A and B are shown apart, each in its own frame.
Chain A
Amino acid sequence: MDNDNNLWQGLKQGNKEMFLALYKKYYHTLLFIGVKEMKDAHLVKDIIQQLFLYLWEKRETIQDARDVRSYLITSFLRKLTADWKKSKQSGLLEVVWSSYPDDPQPNPEEKLIRKDEQSHLFKLLMDRINELPNRQKELIILKFYEGLSYQEIVQRTGLSHRTVYNKIHEGLKKLKLDIVKNQHSRSAALLLLLNVLASAATIAMTQKY
């Protein structure tokens, strides 16, 4: 909490790094709250951007926030519902306001996030994900990151339940196989290197005598 207040003060003083730190800290919190409400991560990401750009522009006049987390979530939800209403689909959305601001519990996804631990491994995995065909990659993001259910993915993409399931299963297989293959090829290379070193040592020895 203390840290939040520091970041907030930093923002008010126009410290860009602290402002970005605040953004990074709350990005996923807001994203997952937003995705739960409207199942459209693209739109939610836009609104998070707009919210933070607004804060940055108004940094000199914004108030002290007693509870930064609640403040961000509340303003975010307000913006989300306003934009949502504009898009004329308000019938679909009944935002339960009160459940968030009074509830400083991290959401399940936040608990999963390990900030930059073993980031090289994530990078490796991300490279593999990027090598997947677009459709598979998209479905894997919807399922494993944005957390949509199969039913919701079916509605979103117009694909059949079976196709979605098969493509995700297929994609997962490729991801894992690729990583295993990668480890294999690396150990194969190591083995080769050891062989070369061993034979070099043998040659050196024979020359000596």
Chain B
Amino acid sequence: MNDDKMTIEELLSDESFINYCKRISPDDIAVWENYIKKNPDRALLIEDAKEQYVQLFNALALADLDEQTARLENSLEQKESTPVVQMEKFEKEKRGKVLPLLLKITAAAIIVAGLFVTINYFVGGRDNRKTYAAVYGERKNIQLPDGSVVTLNAGSNIKINENYGTTTRDVYLEGEAFFEVKHDITRPFIVHTPAMDVKALGTAFNVKAYLNEKNTETSLISGLVEVTLKENNNLKMLLYPNQKIEWQNGNTNAVNSNLTKANKDTHLTDSLPKKLVVTSTGDIKEIAWKENKLMFDDEEFHNIAILLERWYGAKINFKDTAICHYRFTGTYEKEDLNTVLDYLKESKHFNYTIEHGETLTINLSK
């Protein structure tokens, strides 16, 4: 630091000078105090640079604090907006209790009626399974008897047996759910779907197995799970955090001779674990729904429509097939269906009309 044309930028880019500003190194403090003594004409410049450093630090600190506080508030809000439904005792179904609770959860009477039918159907006594369901347009938290928590996405249900937790913890899933499993090494937690079983000891993961979608997938956030591909000779695979596995449903013959070799190979690579991608906003697409985020990434409109139908509990009709193949990318948090459609309309032109019938129907046309 002996050149004549020392600038504030040069001072600030200097590690020793920053240490002096922060007062964390006695050596550096001595160096710079000494320097000021020897170069009194530079004292102002040094003072100015120090001030600039503090300004810069503070601006960054405040901006970060604001951002992080907003993030915390947001998480709190979500925790409140997804009510936890405690699993009741198995023996009796208290209809009178269930109904008012649901009314609180959703004001839409039609949805309550839909669920009522569902519960009635399963409580009909044909088997001893207990069902919990989230209908279109709602998401729900459920606490299982062992303390594990299941977040159900719209249009999904889980069933558990009366003997849940005696030797194993078996859950039967249709649709999509996120599981936070209470650690218990003696009683494995197993999620059953038509195409794959997922076995966990204590872990957090997402399983997506909608009957009307061609893929079944499991994404692991933490812990370790073992996935059994039932349609692939019960092939077992381990999944590590931030990996997912996708399986194309109905490919019963994947390993049998019906497929050509090329096909077989592509299919096998398809079923290898993939890395989960974290977006720049810190979201993971596979579990964004759990954070109340509706997210799609370069997907065709007909697939997005399925998402929207579940999310908003609406029915979507395409009056024009060309629109089906429009591709969109987007993330929405609190927007209503109209707003989302308006946004989409901005990027690729189409028209929509709304019919307010028993369910909300949206017609899309060119």
Q: Is A178 an interface residue (CB 8 A)?
A: no
How large, as a class, is the contact surface on chain A?
35 or more
What residues of A have a CB within 8 angstroms of the CB of B317 in the complex? none
A112 touches B65 (CB 8 A): no
A125 touches B65 (CB 8 A): no
What residues of B have a CB within 8 angstroms of the CB of A56 in the complex? 76, 79
Shortest Cβ gap from B10 to chain A (Å): 7
Q: Is B338 an interface residue (CB 8 A)?
A: no
B13 touches A23 (CB 8 A): no
B72 touches A49 (CB 8 A): yes
B55 touches A144 (CB 8 A): no
Residues in B lying within 8 Å of A, measured CB to CB: 8-10, 12-13, 15, 18, 21-24, 52-65, 68-69, 71-73, 75-76, 79, 222
A165 touches B13 (CB 8 A): yes
What residues of A have a CB within 8 angstroms of the CB of B23 in the complex? 108, 111
What residues of A have a CB within 8 angstroms of the CB of B222 in the complex? 86
What residues of B have a CB within 8 angstroms of the CB of A66 in the complex? none
Q: A45-B68, A49-B68 are in contact. Are A126 and B59 (CB under 8 A)?
A: yes
Residues in A lying within 8 Å of B, measured CB to CB: 16, 20, 23-24, 27-28, 31, 45, 48-49, 52-53, 56-57, 86, 108-109, 111-114, 116, 119, 121-123, 125-126, 129, 140-141, 143-145, 147, 149-150, 165, 168-169, 172-173, 175-176
B15 touches A150 (CB 8 A): yes
A20 touches B56 (CB 8 A): no
Complex Cα gap A113–B53 (Å): 11
What residues of B have a CB within 8 angstroms of the CB of A122 in the complex? 55, 58-59, 62-63
Main secondary structure of the interface of A (DSSP, over half): helix
Shortest Cβ gap from B26 to chain A (Å): 12
Shortest Cβ gap from A9 to chain B (Å): 19
> Among the interface residues A53, A126, A150, which one has the most CB atoms of the partner chain B within 10 A?
A126
A144 touches B24 (CB 8 A): no
Contact of A149 among B15, B55, B76 (CB under 8 A): B15
What residues of B have a CB within 8 angstroms of the CB of A57 in the complex? 79
Complex Cα gap A143–B341 (Å): 43
Complex Cα gap A141–B59 (Å): 10
Q: 6 closest pairs, A vs B, by CB?
A: A145-B60, A122-B59, A125-B59, A172-B9, A108-B22, A169-B13
B65 touches A28 (CB 8 A): yes
With A27-B68, A119-B62, A140-B60 already in contact, 8 other A-B pairs whose C-beta atoms are closer than 8 Å:
A23-B69, A28-B61, A49-B71, A56-B76, A57-B79, A144-B60, A145-B64, A172-B12
A112 touches B58 (CB 8 A): yes
Q: A49-B71, A53-B72, A108-B24 are in contact. Are A145 and B57 (CB under 8 A)?
A: yes
Complex Cα gap A175–B59 (Å): 12
Complex Cα gap A27–B222 (Å): 25
What residues of A have a CB within 8 angstroms of the CB of B75 in the complex? 49, 53
Complex Cα gap A26–B18 (Å): 23
A20 touches B72 (CB 8 A): yes
